């Protein structure tokens, strides 16, 4: 099986996206989207690339032509925060990494046709690398990120307080781009990603894996998070007004002070989530599980909680004026 991923260098951050194979043999952008500071080192970069290659799927359905809006950036470009392909061409370097029969090939690429395709950079020969920590070194070299450049970067591995801010697969908060409005991130693997303060208005994050992600202060208004896995994610202070969280997994999620006005969370699992001081006015929580959740001082005016599970839910100081609790299960509340 041939596996491939794109590796991009932009503002000292490495971005990686997998390429899936369709039933017709064509390649389409995959669901693996992750980033790592280039200064994190060759091993960290190589590990992310290997994960991308391992995530490649075969025989996926061919995208319907109507699903490809010519004026819309692809998920990878949107994930990096670029607003146009021209900006991407000027501000990023790209190479394609392919794996076949344990042989890895690294080919520098350039964007052509306004972002509709790629082609090898003229005069840039493809290189090879073993499936080891040397893979990261070879890719960084192909992207022009040399040992001298690495030594010039801040030493993030030797600073415990700074390292704590940068997850192994996340952005350096000082350099990350955050504008992902309307991005198509359906099914994306964003586990543990640092997306604090990101602008994800109207983004499609349905079926995405956001377990343990940092979305503090993120703007998720009108975002689609249907069936997304946000277990243990931190959404404190985030704005989810009008967002659709139906059937999403938010077990032990942190939503302290989050805004969920007019949001939809039908059959959503919010068990043991912390929603203290959250604003849930006019939200639809029909059939949602809030067992053991903390709703202290939350605003639930006119919220629909029909058939919701509220066993052991903390409701001290919560405002439930005109809330609909028809057929909800409410034992052991405090």
Q: What is the rounded (10 degree) CA torsion for 52, 54, 59, 62? A: 0
Fold agreement (3-150, 178-334) = no
What's the confidence (pLDDT) of residue 290?
96
Residue 286 and residue 300: Cα distance in Å, rounded? 13
Q: What is the pLDDT of residue 41?
A: 81
The CATH code for residues 178-334 is 2.160.20.80
* Model pLDDT for residues 147-200, shown as the tens digit of each residue: 454 444 433 333 323 222 233 333 333 334 456 788 778 887 788 888 888 889
Q: Among 255, 296, 300, which residue's Cα sits nearest to residue 274? A: 255
Q: What angle do CA 99, 53, 183 make, to 5 degrees?
A: 130
Q: How far apart are CA 39 and CA 11, in angstroms?
A: 11
Q: Closest Cα to residue 80, out of 150, 135, 7, 138?
A: 7
**pLDDT of 270:** 97
CATH class of the domain comprising 3-150:
alpha beta
Domain spans, the chain: 3-150, 178-334
* CA pair distance 50, 36, nearest whole angstrom: 13
pLDDT of residue 117: 61
The pLDDT of residue 170: 38
Q: What are phi and psi of 42, to 5 degrees?
A: -60, -40
Task: Flag residues of the chain having pLDDT under 50.
Answer: 64-72, 147, 149-177
Task: Check residue 85 and give its pLDDT.
Answer: 62
DSSP string over 116-141:
TEEEEPTT---EEE-SSTHHHHHHHH
User: What was the pLDDT predicted at 123?
Assistant: 65
Crossing angle for the helix pair 42-55 and 134-142, to the nearest 10 degrees: 90
Torsion sign, CA atoms 170, 43, 160, 232: positive
């Amino acid at each position: 099986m041939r596996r491939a991923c794109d590796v991009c260098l932009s503002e000292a951050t490495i971005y990686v996206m997998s390429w899936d194979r369709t039933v017709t043999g064509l390649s389409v952008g995959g669901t693996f989207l992750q980033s790592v500071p280039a200064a994190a080192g060759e091993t960290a970069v190589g590990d992310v690339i290997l994960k991308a290659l391992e995530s490649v799927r075969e025989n996926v359905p061919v995208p319907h032509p109507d699903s490809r809006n010519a004026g819309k950036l692809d998920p990878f470009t949107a994930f990096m925060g670029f607003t146009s392909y021209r900006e991407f061409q000027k501000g990023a370097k790209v190479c394609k990494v392919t794996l076949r029969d344990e042989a890895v090939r690294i080919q520098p690429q350039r964007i052509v046709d306004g972002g509709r395709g790629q082609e090898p950079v003229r005069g840039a020969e493809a290189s090879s690398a073993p499936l080891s920590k040397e893979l990261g070194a070879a890719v960084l070299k192909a992207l022009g990120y040399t040992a001298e450049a690495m030594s010039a970067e801040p030493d993030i591995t030797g600073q415990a307080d700074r390292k704590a801010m940068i997850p192994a697969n996340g952005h350096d908060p000082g350099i990350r781009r955050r504008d992902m409005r309307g991005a198509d991130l359906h099914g994306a693997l964003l586990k543990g990603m640092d997306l604090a303060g990101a602008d994800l208005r109207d983004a499609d994050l349905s079926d995405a894996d956001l377990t343990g992600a940092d979305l503090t202060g993120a703007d998720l208004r009108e975002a689609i998070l249907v069936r997304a896995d946000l277990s243990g994610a931190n959404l404190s202070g985030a704005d989810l007004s009008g967002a659709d969280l139906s059937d999403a997994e938010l077990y032990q999620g942190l939503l302290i002070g989050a805004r969920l006005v007019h949001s939809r969370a039908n059959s959503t699992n919010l068990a043991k989530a912390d929603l203290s001081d959250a604003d849930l006015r006019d939200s639809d929580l029909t059939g949602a599980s809030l067992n053991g959740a903390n709703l202290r001082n939350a605003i639930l005016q006119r919220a629909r909680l029909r058939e919701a599970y509220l066993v052991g839910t903390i409701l001290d100081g919560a405002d439930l004026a005109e809330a609909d609790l028809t057929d909800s299960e409410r034992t052991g509340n405090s």
